[in-house]
Amino acid sequence: MKSARRRMVVILYGKGGVGKTTVCSHLAAQYAAGGRKVLLLGCDPKTDTSTRFLSGKKPPTMLDMVEGRFGRRFSELLTRTPSGVDIMETGGPEPGVGCGGRGVATLCQFLEEHPRELASYDVVLFDVLGDLVCGGFVAPLRFGKGNCVFIISSEEPASLFAANNIARMTRRPYYDAAAVGGIIFNLRHNDAPQGHLASFAKKIGVAVVGSVPRDPLIMEAEERGLTVQAHAPSSKAARQFAVLAKAVEAACRSKRSAKAAPMGNDEFWAFVRQHRIASL
Ligand SMILES: Nc1ncnc2c1ncn2[C@@H]1O[C@H](COP(=O)(O)OP(=O)(O)OP(=O)(O)O)[C@@H](O)[C@H]1O
Ligand SMILES: [Mg+2]
């Protein structure tokens, strides 16, 4: 059994569409390729965390389990993939019925019911849905020791707003255990002004862990149901994810930005105006 100290729990939050699933999937693939035992948890009704590992085929979901389509054994929800990444997906309720956050909380409860199986993993990654909007989405923070929050943002104001909100969430007293490993910038436009990004990270007291440029190869691989490591292993994009995986691990282990210093909303918009940050 792996000790809790060794295990790394990476929790990615960011605005909708900013690249959480992309970054999470590629980190998972990188750690698995390095011989780690990896559990990737998709917390999104789209059930797309597994897309790049199962060529788009949909795995069983937590919702299927709750609805009684199979039992509550760990192995029944788990999907093993050829890349070595093990995956679980929450799935999601019918639109207008139920609550996505509840699905995340239910998955976390399920993991807590299986401590032995969970402890067998070296790396656990949570790909959490959308902006931080409800209590259910923060359920992964319950895993305490070894967990580390990473914020993903583009260079755009709405994405930075969500990033600041996520930093605010980590300061709530009841999530005191939540260390922020740092921020990952997943660029929407490679040629957009980026001077404000380091200032933003500094302002909210988090380290910049890495930056992922926009690269059409990432979408090309996704369309084929693959990670870039599998689709184009010697590409620049694949190398960039290898670098990012190392940086995420180093940040997770060092917890150097354990306490974020987020802005209030008015201060945030003043920052946007001061730096002339615009949506493109
Ligand atoms: N750096 C990048 N270069 C090119 N395409 C990218 C990059 N990052 C993400 N994408 C593409 O952008 C789309 C959205 O990314 P992704 O699904 O990872 O976002 P998300 O934050 O998980 O979205 P959601 O909030 O809906 O879960 C995907 O089609 C993905 O392939
Ligand atoms: Mg996603």
Please work out whether the CB of residue 89 comes within 6 Å of at least one atom of ligand 1. no
- Identify the domain containing residue 245 by its residue range: 8-274
Give the pLDDT band (50/70/90) at residue 150: very high
pLDDT attached to residue 81:
95
Dump pLDDT digits (tens) for 192-250: 888 899 999 999 999 999 999 999 999 999 999 999 999 999 999 999 999 999 999 99
Domain annotation covers residue 87: yes
Dump pLDDT digits (tens) for 47-83: 899 999 998 788 999 989 988 999 999 999 999 999 9
Distance 142 CA to ligand 2 centre (A): 21
Lowest mean pLDDT among 72-86, 120-134, 200-214, 266-280: 120-134
Give the pLDDT band (50/70/90) at residue 1: very low
Q: Which of the residues 44, 127, 131, 215 is marked catalytic?
A: 131
Distance 248 CA to ligand 2 centre (A): 18
Please work out whether the CB of residue 245 comes within 6 Å of at least one atom of ligand 1. no
SS (H, E, C) 166-200: HHHHHCCHHHCCCEEEEEEEECCCCCCCCHHHHHH
Q: Which residues lie at CB < 5 A from ion ligand 2?
A: 20-21
Q: Which atom of ligand 1 is nearest to the CA of 44?
A: 27
Please provide the average confidence, as pLDDT, over all residues in the chain.
89
pLDDT attached to residue 73:
94
Q: Which atom of ligand 1 is nearest to the CA of 215?
A: 3
pLDDT attached to residue 173:
67
Contacts (Cβ under 8 Å, ≥6 apart) of 267: none
Domain annotation covers residue 218: yes
CATH code (residue 46) = 3.40.50.300
Domain annotation covers residue 244: yes
Calpha distance 31→137 (Å, rounded): 24
46 part of the active site: yes
Please work out whether the CB of residue 244 comes within 6 Å of at least one atom of ligand 1. no
pLDDT attached to residue 125:
96
DSSP 61: B
Taking CA atoms only, the protein residue closest to ligand 1 atom 25 is: 16
Ligand nearest to the Cα of 215, by number: 1
Evaluate whether 15 touches 158 at the Cβ level (below 8 Å). Answer: yes
Query: Which residue from 18, 22, 152, 159 has its CB within 8 A of the most atoms of ligand 1, so it is best to mutate?
Result: 22
CA 57 to chain centroid: 21
pLDDT attached to residue 131:
67
State how beta strands 79-80 and 85-89 pair: antiparallel
Smallest CA-to-CA distance from 238 within 26, 55, 86 is with 26
Mean pLDDT of 141-155: 82
Dump pLDDT digits (tens) for 17-39: 999 999 999 999 999 999 999 99
Q: How far is CA 168 from CA 133, 159, 204, in A?
A: 12, 14, 9
Ligand nearest to the Cα of 42, by number: 2
pLDDT attached to residue 87:
97
Q: Which atom of ligand 1 is nearest to the CA of 186?
A: 1
Domain annotation covers residue 279: no
Q: What is the largest CA-CA distance in the chain?
A: 55
Taking CA atoms only, the protein residue closest to ligand 1 atom 26 is: 17
**Total domains in the fold of the chain:** 1
Domain annotation covers residue 280: no
Evaluate whether 23 touches 184 at the Cβ level (below 8 Å). Answer: yes
255 part of the active site: no
Dump pLDDT digits (tens) for 99-109: 777 888 889 99
Domain annotation covers residue 248: yes
